[in-house]
Chain A
């Protein structure tokens, strides 16, 4: 079946603009995760969803960042009033469930965001 997909693959925007990043998880995966990765760095956790609810929003860097998930499927990460320091690759991952047993996270190809 299809893997995790993300769109757009690349996004160049001007400072101060809003951007929306989309993630389509693997069908049947109830858990969805957003990460940010700067060049040559590790993964920075942003937020995760179990179904449509987000039990942990502690990783969101500021109130300019928000995310939602609808229908237990597609998720959108929105960054308002983008800043240059927001430039990074935004990775989305999904897994069968968060909470029972171990569930491997499957990653999408990421969205490379460049804020000019």
Chain B
């Protein structure tokens, strides 16, 4: 079957660094995406990795290891506004649709 696994909840302190892991098992692989969703809001795109390595965008970075079927989202200098759910999603190149993880709720404490 096809599945993505990520922790259901992560807690961190404001100003700290947090890493949200995602492992996947899919029939095809085109790339790993990360989306952010605030409570009551719609998911918004954060990053995309098609090749191995680290992609950095401001305070957020995303990493991919295709050989390990693993990726992570790294959030630095956490701010209270980063409290949200974070979803990893894999593009299955046989269907070209995104297969979504269940999401990780990030709780930030002052």
A interface residues, Cβ below 8 angstroms from B: 33, 40-43, 45, 48, 55-56, 91, 93, 98-99, 102, 104-110
Summarize A's interface: helix, strand, loop or mixed.
loop
B interface residues, Cβ below 8 angstroms from A: 30-31, 33, 41-45, 48, 50, 87, 91, 95-103, 105
Contact among B30, B96, B100 with A43 in the assembled complex (CB-CB below 8 Å): B100
Chain A residues contacting B48 (CB-CB under 8 Å) are 102, 104
Chain A residues contacting B105 (CB-CB under 8 Å) are 40
Chain B residues contacting A45 (CB-CB under 8 Å) are 97-100
Known contacts A102-B30, A104-B48; decide if A56 and B42 are in contact (CB<8 Å): no
Is the CB–CB distance between A98 and B102 below 8 Å?
no
Is the CB–CB distance between A42 and B97 below 8 Å?
no
A-B CB contact pairs (8 Å), 7 listed: A42-B103, A43-B100, A56-B95, A102-B31, A107-B42, A107-B43, A110-B42
Is the CB–CB distance between B42 and A105 below 8 Å?
no
Known contacts A56-B95, A109-B42; decide if A42 and B87 are in contact (CB<8 Å): yes
Known contacts A56-B95, A104-B48; decide if A42 and B31 are in contact (CB<8 Å): no
Chain B residues contacting A102 (CB-CB under 8 Å) are 30-31, 33, 48, 50, 91
Chain A residues contacting B100 (CB-CB under 8 Å) are 42-43, 45
Is the CB–CB distance between A107 and B44 below 8 Å?
yes
* Distance from A52 Cβ to chain B, minimum over Cβ atoms (Å): 17
Contact among B33, B97, B101 with A98 in the assembled complex (CB-CB below 8 Å): B97
Contact among B33, B42, B50 with A108 in the assembled complex (CB-CB below 8 Å): B42
Q: Which 9 A-B pairs have the closest CB atoms?
A: A107-B42, A42-B102, A98-B96, A104-B45, A43-B100, A42-B103, A99-B96, A107-B43, A48-B97
